[in-house]
Amino acid sequence: MSIAKIQKSIFNGEVTVPASKSVAHRALICSFLAGGGNVEPIISSKDMAATVGIINSLKKGENTLNSIESGSTLRFMIPVAAALGKEVTFVGQGSLLSRPIGEYLTLLPLHGTQIKSNGYLPATISGKLRNGSFEVNGNVSSQYITGLLLALAALDGDSAVILKTELQSKPYVDMTIKVMKDYGVDIRETDFGYLVKGGQKFKVQDYVVEGDWSQAAFFLVGGAINGEVTVKGLDINSTQGDKAIVDVIKRFGADVKIDDKSVTVKKSELHGIELDATDIPDMVPAIAVLAANASGKTVIKGAERLRYKESDRIESVVYNLKALGADVEETSDGMIIYGGKKLHSAKLKGYNDHRIVMAFSVAAMNIGDCEIDDAQSINKSYPLFFDDFNNLGGNADVL
């Protein structure tokens, strides 16, 4: 376990964020199903290593597929491997061992694929997936929908994904459809869900991955509470749902300037807001830090799925905010933050959760003399986070 010691400092400068992890996962799988083509740039992270590793294992005919700690990799690749008729066992480690795959346990056996699992890893699948109508809950995880769309497009016959409940985190599914369209595969949205035509071919091509809005959020929030930051390498027209962080920061009252490939945020007077985080749950840790530095009350709701991430992120955020002296109440699906209270130094918990570590590193720089444990967890998605943090003017020493 490593510890990051954060001293009081001010962000002032430019940073180019890494390529989007979410887009890269999807493009790598599309490229695999196409049978060739390059996908770049790809950030060197544990999550990317998981997807690349499973694709390589499938190419080699290996029977054990290691998802490491990537929930996206696991939920995307189970139906893809089933569509290819593979008999394989999915394994993982760390927090992934407690993340469920229950939707597939009942759904895939109805369409030719058997799964041996207790609802968690390890999970062994066998039997080729058949096309048809797939009824799935839309409020559990959009990753199940993405996995099905990728897999069903590789089958010969037509299929339908029927949503039994309202789809949450829809922007992530929109991103999947956009990447698949880039690879020549058409998914049609309907009143009931999605229609996938059979017999489509993924085209071989070289794919350029755009910048990651979810990682940009931490630095944009840092600029809003302490200094001025320009984040480069972003596509303003991106389908990434997390680009909504710009609108959220604006609602708080931050000074925001946008051009074609960058966003600049400058410190200004901030005020609390009410936010439904249903479509942007991963942004909640960063937004909560912003709220603690704003005057007035911020209500965050619609984030109940955060309880099933790398940590219970609602609990993790509330604990750390309280440790810093913030006035915050935990709710079943989010939190209420009463901003304006003077924050103080503290020893913070990273919960082995990359987004918690990054969010509270930004919070700590506005206070100074803070420590946060499990700093190594950034390797899951953004190994160079502290390098970029310090290059912007932050003062983090990772021990």
Which residues are tagged catalytic? 282
Report the first-to-last Cα separation within the chain, whole angstroms. Answer: 9
The alpha carbon dihedral of 24, 81, 121, 330 has a sign of: positive
Closest CA to 387 of 52, 51, 44, 69: 44
Q: Facing residues of 163 across strands? A: 136
Phi-psi region of 132 (alpha: psi -120 to 50; beta: other; left: phi over 0): left
Question: What are residue 258's phi and psi, to 5 degrees?
Answer: -125, 140
Neighbours of 3 (CB within 10 A): 16
Nearest-angstrom CA–CA distance, 55 and 76: 11
Q: Facing residues of 13 across strands? A: 229
- On the 0-12 / 13-18 / 19+ scale of CB atoms within 10 A, 218 is buried
Largest pairwise CA distance in the chain: 61
Cα–Cα distance list, 216 to 6, 229, 352 (Å): 19, 10, 20
